[in-house]
Amino acid sequence: MGRWSGTLRAVSDLVVIIISTAVALAATVSPVDGLLLAVVAIPFLLFVPGYALIAALFPDRESTYQQHRLIGLERLLYAVVASICLAVIVGVNLDFTSWPIRPVPVVAVLAVVTVLSTLVALYRRTTSEPEASKSAVQFDMGSNSRPQSSDGGVQLGSIVVAVAIVVALVSVTFVAAQPQRGETYTEFGLLTETNGTLQANGYPTEMRLGESSDLYFTVTNREKQETNYVVVVQLTRTAPTGDVIENARLDTYSETTAPGETWQQRHTVTPVLEGERLRLTYLLYRGGVPEQPTVDNAYRETHIWIDVTQNR
């Protein structure tokens, strides 16, 4: 029983780290209030991952200089510095992935790092010799038998902090040197032509069945990469609730657009449905088009409302 209780005391801080990680991850993925999330997540980001990493690197809490009062404070300092460095490194790497730099991805990645580091620390701490750390303790019998902190401990602490700061600075410098990616998106709009000028107004509100009208749609690629776009033009009859009653596909257009370029397409709209307040809908897709194109599965959508009457 004493052995298990001693083992539990030896790893109690690691158990607290695991519990803190689970609480922070649960708070991040759940729809909690912003203030509550900050209260839980900020301490986690600033301390927990770094403490787990330091524990994995230096698992023995009874080190040769641990009994010096300042050494405990140094361990806390190492944990804070290491946590900041880990947060910077995670942010740098997320910026080059499809995951956004948001609380959930950042906390999730740091939680994985924390758990792995804690498992390493747990293994090293439970398999180390209990007396291994004590063999290096030097006592000065002339000073009330108090253990003295060796210069090596101070030097080691300085090295850890210096390396952490260098890693953070290099990471920030690397990000700053990269071309700014910014937000990726696509501009999608509908235009009409008046006196040779394209403008985003003057849309037709009434058309006759079977007659045609020319319109323009534009697609501007801000995706930072070459993108294949498909535009589906539909005329839809809807219920007052917004549900689709009848739907007719008028045309489909496709174009591969380079980053920063605009695809401008002139097209002819010929109504095939009759009625009041029909929705002329433009659905934009990247790549392929689903079997049943709808507003819900489109990447971008724009529309106008028109009344279609019979020819007289």
Question: Is 255 part of any domain?
Answer: yes
- What is the per-residue pLDDT for 173? 53
Q: Would you say the pTM of this structure is higher than 0.85?
A: no
Same domain, 244 and 101: no
Task: Give yes or no for residue 72 having a pLDDT over 70.
Answer: no
Same domain, 89 and 123: yes
Same domain, 6 and 128: yes
Task: Give yes or no for residue 5 having a pLDDT over 60.
Answer: no
Identify which of 167, 304, 157, 131 has the alpha carbon closest to the alpha carbon of residue 233. 304
Domain range enclosing 207: 185-309
pLDDT tens-digit readout, 88-146: 888 777 767 667 677 788 888 899 999 998 898 888 888 865 544 444 444 343 444 44
Same domain, 168 and 204: no
Q: Taking the CA atoms of 233, 238, 242 and 248 in sequence, report the sign of the dihedral they define.
A: negative
- What is the per-residue pLDDT for 288? 86
Q: Distance between CA 139 and CA 1 in Å, rounded?
A: 32
Same domain, 38 and 119: yes
Same domain, 26 and 8: yes
Task: Give yes or no for residue 63 having a pLDDT over 70.
Answer: no
Domain count, the chain: 2
Identify which of 89, 22, 72, 82 has the alpha carbon closest to the alpha carbon of residue 51. 82
Question: Is 141 part of any domain?
Answer: no
Helix, strand, coil: what percent of the chain each, to 5? 45, 25, 30
Same domain, 169 and 266: no
Same domain, 41 and 126: yes
Same domain, 21 and 158: yes
With 0-12 / 13-18 / 19 or more C-beta atoms within 10 angstroms meaning exposed / middle / buried, residue 135 is: exposed
Same domain, 73 and 166: yes
190: enclosing H helix or E strand: strand 185-194
CATH number of domain containing 270: 2.60.40.10
